Amino acid sequence: MKLATYTAQGQTRTGIVVGDQIIDTGLGGTMIDLIRNWDALKPQLEAKAAAGGGMPLASVTLCAPVQRPGKIFAIGLNYADHIAESKMGTPERQVWFTKAQTSVNGPHDPILIARNTMANDYEVELVAVIGKRAKHISVADAASVIFGYCVGNDVTERMWQHAGPQWALGKSFDTHAPMGPWLTTADELGDPHRLGIRCFVNGEKRQDSNTSHLVFNIWQQIEHLSAAMTLEPGDVIFTGTPGGVGAAMDPRQFLKAGDVVRRD
Residues 6+ apart with CB under 8 A from 204: none
218, exposed or middle or buried, with CB in 10 Å at 0-12, 13-18, 19+? buried
Residues 6+ apart with CB under 8 A from 3: 14, 15, 16, 17, 25, 31, 34, 45, 65, 148, 182, 183, 185
Every domain of the chain and the residues it spans: 2-62, 72-263
Degrees (nearest 5) of the Cα angle 117, 122, 89?
100
pLDDT, tens digit, 9 for 90 and up, residues 164-190:
999 999 999 999 999 999 999 999 999
- Assess contact for 168 and 153: CB atoms under 8 A: no
Looking at residue 105, what is its pLDDT?
98
- pLDDT band at residue 87 using 50, 70 and 90 as cut-offs: confident
Looking at residue 224, what is its pLDDT?
98
Using alpha carbons, select from 104, 150, 129, 136 the residue that is nearest to residue 232: 129
C-alpha 261/C-alpha 199 separation (Å) is 7
Q: In sequence order, what are the beta bridge partners of 152?
A: 125, 179
- Measured CA to CA in angstroms, residue 190 lies from 159, 187, 242 at distances of 38, 6, 21
pLDDT, tens digit, 9 for 90 and up, residues 8-53:
999 999 999 999 999 999 999 999 999 999 999 999 999 999 999 9
Q: pLDDT exceeding 70 applies to what percent of the chain?
A: 100
Examine the pLDDT at 264 and tell me if it is beyond 90: no
pLDDT, tens digit, 9 for 90 and up, residues 122-181:
999 999 999 999 999 999 999 999 999 999 999 999 999 999 999 999 999 999 999 999
Mean pLDDT estimate for the chain: 97
Looking at residue 127, what is its pLDDT?
98
Q: In sequence order, what are the beta bridge partners of 36?
A: none
Residues 6+ apart with CB under 8 A from 223: 137, 138, 139, 142
Assign domain 72-263 to a CATH class: alpha beta
